[in-house]
Amino acid sequence: MKYKKIVSTEKTPIFIGNSLLITPVFFDLLPNTGKLVLINDSSISSDFLEPLLLELQKRPTTLVHIPLEISETKKTRETKAGIENQLFAAGCGRDTTIVALGGGVLTDLVGFIAATYCRGVPLILCPSTILGMIDASIGGKTGVNTPYGKNLIGAFYPPKAIYMDISVLKGLPQTVFNDGLAELIKHAALTDKVLFEALLKTNPEALRGDFPLLVDMLETSARIKLKITEIDQLESGLRACLNFGHTIGHAIESAAKGRYAHGQSIIFGMITETVIAINKGLCTSETLTQLKSISQQYGFHIKAADLKASDLSAFLRHDKKNKENKIHCSVLSEVGKYWTNDQEYTISVSLEECFDALKEISIF
């Protein structure tokens, strides 16, 4: 079944649907001259990739295809330079359009390449994970990691278009699919109680099998991120609310050294930061109960007995969201509403307050 929905904004249209990349919805936005570069995550299944390559080869542009074995540790300046050299060797100049097909790691990296190659060439993003679709591809952030931290070098570079072709998710391992749903839960918890309640009526396996429902939820979630990032394009205010769960979550992800995936770490973070908000009188324990229950329904752990709070200290002290040496968190005032006092979107938290709250997920 083909299904098409368009979320349109002035600058970057977002298309959501099935088998989109082999239809005119995609081809109509491709150039007719110059080089067309497809850079894809090599984990994308050949069932998806081969028909796409066949179509792209028929186009009047010269196709340069770069399949990339990519992971978080390879999202670096060195990998970027290697790809740029490949593009120069293939004769790519300013009349080049780059199509990035992959998860958030690949779209962040390739987005940054497009932002700087020949001082910027057109970019089309085709996210291939849940997180990539509802989060990483939206908002214009691109970048690479450094030994000093994640995503420290990059640029804001909006793509020409975003294509969320749901059929690419067929090959996605169930664990990766499920982990990405943490960001969907986050978007619902921040601004959309209706979406939160709709999520409570389903589960990851059912959602994967219910195509129209999945498309609807991805669209709603994408719209949430889009709305926030359009209001605050350069991250000077409102956009900070999207960091809900990410201050503690990133510290757990780093301290756990790979034992907890990103989405699972963010779930721990959302729970802990909600306890911080309760302790500061900013939200009620009902919000915590609702968050725990949705997390369990989506197969996430709500206890992490194998970490020590002290393991998190260094990461919390050096969090890039810290201001004047103070840790900052974005929290909820209730499910469906992020906390704000109309000027700020984060609260300042001491290390002791973090440690107290971490007891909730059994980190001592």
Ligand X SMILES: NC(=O)c1ccc[n+]([C@@H]2O[C@H](COP(=O)([O-])OP(=O)(O)OC[C@H]3O[C@@H](n4cnc5c(N)ncnc54)[C@H](O)[C@@H]3O)[C@@H](O)[C@H]2O)c1
CB-CB contact of 77 with 153 (8 Å): yes
- Using rule CB under 6 A, residue 247 touches ligand X: no
139: left (phi over 0), alpha (psi -120 to 50) or beta: left
Query: Shortest distance, CB of residue 157 to ligand X, whole angstroms?
Result: 10
How many positions of this chain bind ligand X (CB under 6 A)?
28
Candidate segments 165-173, 186-194, 328-336, 349-357, binder of ligand X by CB under 6 A = 165-173
151 binds ligand X, rule: CB under 6 A = yes
Binders in 302-361 for ligand X, by CB under 6 A: none
For residue 23, the number of C-alpha atoms closer than 13 Å in the C-beta half-sphere is 14
CB of 41 to ligand X, least distance (A): 5
The residue from 21, 87, 92, 132 that contacts ligand X (CB under 6 A) is: 132
Stretches 16-24, 77-85, 113-121, 171-179: which one binds ligand X (CB under 6 A)?
Answer: 171-179
Strands (E), the chain: 4-7, 14-17, 35-41, 62-68, 96-102, 123-127, 141-146, 149-156, 161-165, 327-329, 332-334, 337-338, 347-349
Supply the minimum distance, in Å, between the C-beta of residue 93 and ligand X. Answer: 27
User: Rounded to the nearest whole angstrom, what is the least distance from the CB of residue 109 to ligand X in the complex?
Assistant: 8
User: Which pair of structure tokens corresponds to residue 360?
Assistant: 């909730």
Q: Which of 55, 72, 230, 311 touches ligand X (CB under 6 A)?
A: 72
* Shortest Å distance, C-beta 325 to ligand X: 24
Smallest separation (angstroms) from ligand X to the CB of 252: 15
108 lines the binding site for ligand X (CB under 6 A) = yes
Interface with ligand X by CB under 6 A: which range of 25-33, 84-92, 130-138, 322-330?
A: 130-138
Question: Which one of 121, 131, 215, 278 is in contact with ligand X (CB under 6 A)?
Answer: 131
3-class SS of residue 333: strand
Residue listed under structure tokens 């600058």 = 11
Closest CB 70 distance from ligand X, rounded Å: 6
Under the criterion CB under 6 A, does residue 129 sit at the interface with ligand X? yes
Among 35, 80, 141, 208, binds ligand X (CB under 6 A): 141
Residues 6+ apart with CB under 8 A from 187: 134, 195, 220, 221, 224, 225
* 100 touching ligand X, by CB under 6 A: no
Long-range contacts of 5-11 (CB under 8 A, 24+ apart): 5/215, 5/219, 7/219, 7/222, 7/223, 7/226, 9/226, 9/230, 11/158
> Strand, helix or coil at 186?
helix
Residue 184-223 contact track with ligand X, rule CB under 6 A, x = bound: ----------------------------------------
State how far the Cα of 303 lies from the Cα of 69, in Å rounded to an integer: 33
Query: What 3-state class would DSSP assign to 16?
Result: strand
Query: What distance in Å separates the CA atoms of residue 310 and residue 314, rounded to the nearest whole number?
Result: 8
Cα–Cα distance measured from residue 6 to residue 29, given in angstroms and rounded to the nearest whole number: 14
- By CB under 6 A, name the one of 56, 80, 103, 215 that touches ligand X: 103
Residue 10 CB, shortest distance to ligand X, in Å, is 19
Nearer to ligand X, 122 or 139 (CB): 139
Does 139 interact with ligand X (rule: CB under 6 A)? yes
Residue number with CB closer to ligand X (17 or 139): 139
Q: Rounded to whole angstroms, how far apart are CA atoms 139 and 120?
A: 17
Q: Which amino acid is at 31?
A: P
Measured between alpha carbons, how far is 325 from 350 in angstroms, rounded to an integer? 10
Among the residue ranges 9-17, 40-48, 186-194, 313-321, the one whose residues contact ligand X (CB under 6 A):
40-48
The H or E element that residue 256 is part of is: none
Residues in contact with ligand X by CB under 6 A are 41, 43-45, 72, 75, 102-106, 108, 128-129, 131-132, 135-136, 139, 141, 150-151, 168, 171-172, 176, 180, 262
